[in-house]
Every structure is written in C-alpha cells, then in structure tokens.
Structure 1
Amino acid sequence: MENKQTSILESIELLLAKITDQVTLLNNSNIDWIGLCTLFAIVIGLGVAIKKFKAEFEWRKSEVYLEQAKELYQLAYNALIIDESTNYPVNNRRVWLTSARRLLAAEAMSKKITEESHKISIDEYIEYWRVQFSDLLSFDSNDRPASNKEYFYEKGALYHWSDSSRAPIHESSIAVIYRFMKWNEDRENYLKNVDDFNEDEIHRMEIFDARGVGAYIREIRKRDEKE
C-alpha cells in the first residue's frame, strides 16, 4: 500500500514537471497570458497539495511505528511472567527469549520513526520501561533471585538438558534485556541542569513545610564543607 501511494505521488510530480517544461517551450507570440497565469496557479496549488499530502502520509506512517513500538515494549515487559512465590520473573528459557525478542522488535520499530515529536515521545517511553525492567530484575541487588547463578540454570543441565530438567536461560536473551536496562549515555540528563537548594529555600523548609528535608540538606552542606 505504501509503495503504491509513493508511486502515485512520484507520477504526479513527474507530470507536473512535464507541464512546466511544455509551458516554457510555448511561443511567446501565442501565449494566452490569462490562461498561462491560471495554469501556473493550478500547478503551484497542486504542488502545495502534493507536499502537504506527502507530509501527512509520512507523519501517519511514523505514528504507526510509534504505537507499534510502544505496544512491543509493554509486551516485552509483560512476557516476564512473575513467580508469585518469589515475586520475581520465572527462570524459564522461553519466557526470557520471548521478552528479549519483543524488545528487539520494539527497538527495530523505534528506529523507523521519522517525525521529531514522535522520536521525543518514544525516547521518554523507552526510559519509562527501562526503569520498570531495572526495578523488576534488580541485577545489582544481593537479595534477588538473579544474584545467584543457579537462577539461570539447573545444576547439571548447563550444557545438556532434558524434559525432566530446566533448560538454561539463553545468554543472548539476558544480554538484550541487560543492555536495555543500562542508562543510555547519549540521552540528555535533565537533572544536570537543576540547581541545588539555595539558602532561602533551606531556611523556609526548616521553619515551615519540610523540616526533614531541610535538616537533610544541612547535613549535606556540612559534609561538602568538610570535603
């Protein structure tokens, strides 16, 4: 469908170019100036309409990619079925592979987004799901199942397994999810532009509305002075 619409647009533009060429070749003595001006007005109007149509077409196409990418990120997260006994994703090879594949599909779809507003939207959406994955899996926490290597494979079944043993979680699926969870260094860190509390703010907190915060910030200032 997209190729057909693109082909139609290209044909119209080619026709417009030919019309313009033919008008240029007209003998000046035979020109109907009113008719010529009308023709040019039609050509210009048609050209504007075509550009508007193309812009709308590209925006809609980008919007479709945006919505599909958003859905795939959510599906990737939902694929990690929770074990109610541990409140942690089940250590199932198929579950992790499914989540990883959906993440890869979402990332591929995100790269097809062309409109700037859609790119900004998907960047924020990706950050939301990055945090959700990080909070759920918590690879850096010692009290979570994934801190133990046996979560990822059943002892004695690392290289060979059967129906009676649990298949090890595939390294590639772990890699996809782990890398997705890491902070993107190319992403703008909005917090770096935020100023620290000034003295008036700290004083007001200590007296009126946030004494605990004010006291905490005072301790930070004392620490900074010592350093």
Structure 2
Amino acid sequence: MDFFNTLLSASAAIFTAITAGVALYISLRSDQKEKDKISDDSVIERCEIYLSRAYGLLASGPDGKSFPADPSRLNWMSAARMILAHQKLSPQIKLERNKLKMDAIQEYWRTRVVDLFTAFDFDVSYFSRRESNGMPIMPIESRSAGIIFDFLHWPEDKEDLMGQIDESSLKIPLRYKLAMNAIRANASRGASGLVRGVTSPVNIAGED
C-alpha cells in the first residue's frame, strides 16, 4: 500500500509540475506576444511618420500636397534619409499581421508619391533648373534621387496579392457591370509615364 501511495504522490507531483510548466510557458508566450505587439506598434508608428515626412518634403502646392516642390537638393536628401530610416526600421516588425499592415502603409505612401509625380508630369528639365523664385539652387544629389525612385518600384521579391486573384471569380454587383465593362475596354491603354520620355515609373527607378 505504501508503494502505491508513494507512486500516486509522485504521479500527482509530476502532473502538478507539468501543469505549472505549461501554465508558465503559456504565460511567458502571452507576455512575449504582448511585448512584440507593443514593439511593432512603435515601429509602425515611426515608419509611417518617416514616410509621411518624405512625402511632405517632396510635395508643395496650395494645400502642401498637390505638386512636387521646387527641386531642392536639401529636401530630396532629407526625403531620401526618411525613406532609408523607414527601410532600416521596418524589418524589426515581428508579428505577421503587423508585417502586412506595414506593407499596406508603405504601399499607400509609395502610391502617393507616384501619383504626386505623375499628376505634375514634370519633364527632365525639372532636374536641371538653376534657380527658384529668382534665387540660385544647388542641383539634386543623384544618390538621393536614386533612393527615392528605387522606393517607387514594386520590390522584385515581394508577392503581389492581386496576382493571386482570379478575376472571373469576383462577384460584381449589377450596378457596377457597365463600369467594369468600360474598365476592361480601356485596360489595354496602359499607364502614362512618370516623366516625359520615360515609359514607366519602373524605368526611372533604374530598371530595364
């Protein structure tokens, strides 16, 4: 009887230890996830600030957002540094859902800059201007321009979620059928160049 009591006590002790270990593991894992979430939130906030500041440095116009600003060497260098700061910081994001969130934020600001340049449709003489408002200006530094243009192209190693969609499977409400027909009819026209004489924003980013 003593043997069985001892065995039972030992089994209970082992079970208690295992239960406590599992509870501790779950607690530590939960704490780590919470720490990762807090860290990710901070990184995402800072990255969005960097990208919004980069856009603000490149934009001008009555509302501060309509057109590219005058070709300021300092502004382009500062915008490039903001983009580099974002690119250095964003890989620190740990949680997968937050990586997707960061991708969406980056794509939003990338599109804003592309739209900014495309809407203005500046030609290459923009980069050779020597004065602004009667004052001499320094030329834009080529590395800063390269960093900005590189940011505008879709990363080669990034999977486009749009490419996974079978358009025939999409359920289009009846009210939008005519709109979709018009969109499909015009789809072959393609997009206009980012700069006159350049066939696409990808080319200006240095791709063939």
Q: TM-score with structure 2 length normalisation?
A: 0.66
CA change 1:95–1:47 in 2 (3 A) is same
Q: How many Å separate the matches in 2 of 1:195 and 1:89?
A: 39
Unaligned runs of 5+ in 2: 1-5, 188-208
Q: CA RMSD in A?
A: 3.7
2:198 is aligned to: none
Structure 2 residue 127 is the aligned partner of structure 1 residue 152: yes
Unaligned runs of 5+ in 1: 1-28, 158-163, 221-227
Greater CA drift, 67-76 or 40-49: 40-49
Aligned-pair distance for 1:105?
A: 0.7
Q: How many Å separate the matches in 2 of 1:92 and 1:209?
A: 44
CA change 1:77–1:218 in 2 (3 A) is closer
CA change 1:153–1:219 in 2 (3 A) is closer
1:79 is aligned to: 57
Aligned residues: 173
Aligned-pair distance for 1:169?
A: 0.7
Instruction: Give the 5 Å matches for 1:21-100.
Output: 32-33=9-10, 34-82=12-60, 87-100=67-80
Q: Is the 8 A contact 2:67 2:117 kept in 1?
A: no
Q: Is the 8 A contact 1:83 1:90 kept in 2?
A: no
Structure 2 residue 133 is the aligned partner of structure 1 residue 136: no
Q: Is the 8 A contact 1:66 1:122 kept in 2?
A: yes
Aligned with residue 125 of structure 1, among 76, 89, 105: 105
Q: How many Å separate the matches in 1 of 2:177 and 2:7?
A: 85
Q: How many Å separate the matches in 2 of 1:108 and 1:184?
A: 15
Q: Which amino acid aligns with 1:45?
A: A
CA change 1:69–1:38 in 2 (3 A) is same
Aligned-pair distance for 1:211?
A: 5.6
Aligned-pair distance for 1:95?
A: 0.8
CA change 1:31–1:106 in 2 (3 A) is same
The 3-state SS of whatever aligns with 1:111 is: helix
Aligned-pair distance for 1:51?
A: 2.0
CA change 1:114–1:90 in 2 (3 A) is same
Q: Which amino acid aligns with 2:154?
A: W
Moved over 6 A (4+): none
Instruction: Give the 5 Å matches for 1:173-184.
Output: 173-184=144-155
CA change 1:47–1:78 in 2 (3 A) is same
2:83 is aligned to: 103
Q: TM-score with structure 1 length normalisation?
A: 0.61
CA change 1:211–1:102 in 2 (3 A) is closer
Aligned with residue 195 of structure 1, among 167, 170, 185: 167
Higher relative contact order structure (alpha carbons within 8 Å, sequence separation ≥ 6)? 2
Q: How many Å separate the matches in 2 of 1:192 and 1:45?
A: 40
CA change 1:195–1:111 in 2 (3 A) is same
Q: Deviations over 1:25-47 (max 9, x none)?
A: xxxx7995345543443333223
Q: Is the 8 A contact 1:80 1:89 kept in 2?
A: yes
CA change 1:45–1:68 in 2 (3 A) is same
Report sequence identity in percent: 20
The 3-state SS of whatever aligns with 1:184 is: coil
Q: Which amino acid aligns with 2:124?
A: N
